[in-house]
A and B are shown apart, each in its own frame.
Chain A
Amino acid sequence: MQYMLLIHSDESGWSKMTPEQQQQGLAAYMAYGEALRKAGVFVSSHRLRNSTDATTVRLVNGKAQVLNGPFADSKEQFGGYYLIDVSDLDAALSWAARCPGAAHGIIEVRPVWEMPRN
């Protein structure tokens, strides 16, 4: 089953870190990605730019309404994801617990909606 591990964290944490700490943090993510690949469960992953760079769009009466900023106005922002393919929720949860994001934020684990194949 495919699960998406969504990383939600306080973005201000990153800017408060020293360059060495940032380096260490990045290295931890790199190592995590490598471990996922080695285990053969990695599907894809991306880190997103800060939510200050986000723009939201919705149609209001047929016209696009464009707003600056992220959708959710909360301290923790969605900052990146890992898409993994594992046997069950327990396996997904144990990978989520290893994600560096679990230490500085919260990982939401969501099963991917499987589309019927034709």
Chain B
Amino acid sequence: MHLERSRTQMDPSSDCVVVNHAGRDARAAAETVARRSYGKLVAFLAARTRDVAAAEDALSEAFASALADWPEKGCPSNPEGWLLTVARRKIIDSSRRRRTHEAATGDLSILAEELDAASMGSADAVIPDHRLGLMFACAHPAIDAGIRAPLMLQVVLGLDAVMISSAFLMSPAAMGQRLVRAKNKIREAGIPLRIPEATELSPRLDVVLDAIYAAFSEGWVDPIDVARRDLAEEALFLGRLVAELLPREPEALGLLALMLHADARRAARRDERGEYVPLAEQDPLLWDTQMIAEAESLLRRASTLGTIGRYQLEGALQSAHVHRRRTGEANWSAVVSLYDALLAMSGSPVVAINRALALAEAQDASAALSALDEVSGDPRLTEYQPYWAARAQLLARTGARAAARQAYEIAIGLERDPSVRRFLQQRQASIGS
């Protein structure tokens, strides 16, 4: 059982939900702790045993106990500590049922010592934060790449499989099974819940950041769909967490900056009728200036730390686009060089497409088309809508109208978002014959 974030509901049919003032307070307190501390509590409970599923089960039982107990006896002074103590008892109970006493004693006595130190009732006790270690376990190379982002969303944030599956376009049953398998792998293969050694940190951190960005991108696709919008917010939360816990890692700062820049434009990405608005036509007054300012300051901080990387470059690109739209100063050659650096680093055909579009502004459409031709042999692009839309746009600018209409036709056929589809149809119609 997982806590459903954002639309929290804790089994309304159970008698632990007391519908009176104290009940509402207790419920609100439990929900606050759930939202703020879920991952921290799971990470702490599973740090030694690596049994994430058992930690989650114990924790959700502890939350149920809280809803029964707190309305009557009042909220404890240290709610996190209270939940930990109860969850620990649940873990010990079920562990005794499953394993022989002797085998379980080692893990449990360590757990008990740490818990005594961290939690027992004292209001100012601090629970050690192992969340980052938990994230590194979720994004371990031994975990199937496709399940890393969903796993992180579930065990660090407490999102349930149904919500995650709809965002990742997977059936809830299949998502549930893959999550269970991944948690089993962490336990049985002995994947550690810890931050890797310095020599390993950089490549391993990239995987964590990629998983967070995958979650963000899933959420960012459609700014109106509620489940997806929540997903982008949760990914942003994870990005903040990593940047806070690893403040000297420039790529962690770069990713957070990139996500903030993208999210800052959320309100401008659809017009009042819900129609898609491309960046070049967005109203900069609708952008979130606070988020942009934060992103800019993160990028500046990252740039003082000495290593450039994919996310810093992508963040810098966002920054350049924002600057151009706000000031009206063309900065296309700077944008092209940022794409050059990104392309050299990633070799991604998607980057090549965006670079070609920038090249069309810095030079002309035919230079951009020949740049696009260089990657057109990549089989990954034949089903990639932005490739065909970019091609169509450039062809239209060179006056190759029939070819442009045809490229738009393919782009429209590949798009899943109706509002983007309508936008492409309008562009296609505007070419004329």
Contact = CB atoms under 8 A, between A and B. Distances in A.
Interface string B195-238: 01000100000000000000000000000000000000000000
Interface string A90-112: 10110000000000000000010
A18 interface: no
A89 B140 contact: yes
Contacts of B100: 116-118
B74 interface: no
A1 B190 contact: yes
Label chain B's interface by main secondary structure: loop
B101 to A, nearest CB: 10
Task: Kindly state the interface size class of chain A when it binds its partner.
Answer: 10 to 19
Nearest to B193: A88
A87 interface: yes
Nearest to B136: A90
Contacts of B102: 117
Contacts of A117: 100, 102-103
A111 B189 CA distance: 6
Contacts of B50: 88
A88 B103 contact: no
B103 A89 contact: no
B192 interface: yes
Interface in A1-39: 1, 3
B142 interface: yes
A90 B196 CA distance: 9
B99 A89 contact: no
A34 B270 CA distance: 65
B191 interface: yes
Contact of A88 (B99, B192, B200): B192
B183 to A, nearest CB: 14
Nearest to B141: A93
B124 interface: no
A1 B191 CA distance: 11
B95 to A, nearest CB: 12
A83 to B, nearest CB: 14
B132 to A, nearest CB: 15
B188 interface: yes
Contacts of B191: 88-90
A16 B413 CA distance: 55
Nearest to A110: B189
Contacts of B142: 89, 93
B51 to A, nearest CB: 13
Contacts of B189: 89, 111
Nearest to A92: B190
Contacts of A87: 190, 192
Contact of A111 (B99, B140, B188, B196): B188
A111 B50 CA distance: 14
Contact of B99 (A90, A92, A116): A116
B192 A90 contact: yes
Contacts of B192: 87-90
A118 B99 CA distance: 10
30 contacts: A1-B190, A3-B190, A87-B190, A87-B192, A88-B50, A88-B190, A88-B191, A88-B192, A89-B140, A89-B142, A89-B189, A89-B190, A89-B191, A89-B192, A90-B191, A90-B192, A90-B196, A90-B200, A92-B190, A93-B142, A111-B188, A111-B189, A111-B190, A116-B99, A116-B100, A116-B103, A117-B100, A117-B102, A117-B103, A118-B100
Query: What 5 A-B pairs are tightest by C-beta distance, nearest first?
Result: A88-B192, A1-B190, A88-B190, A89-B190, A89-B191
Given A111-B188, A111-B190, 17 more contacts: A3-B190, A88-B191, A88-B192, A89-B140, A89-B191, A89-B192, A90-B192, A90-B196, A90-B200, A92-B190, A93-B142, A116-B99, A116-B100, A117-B100, A117-B102, A117-B103, A118-B100
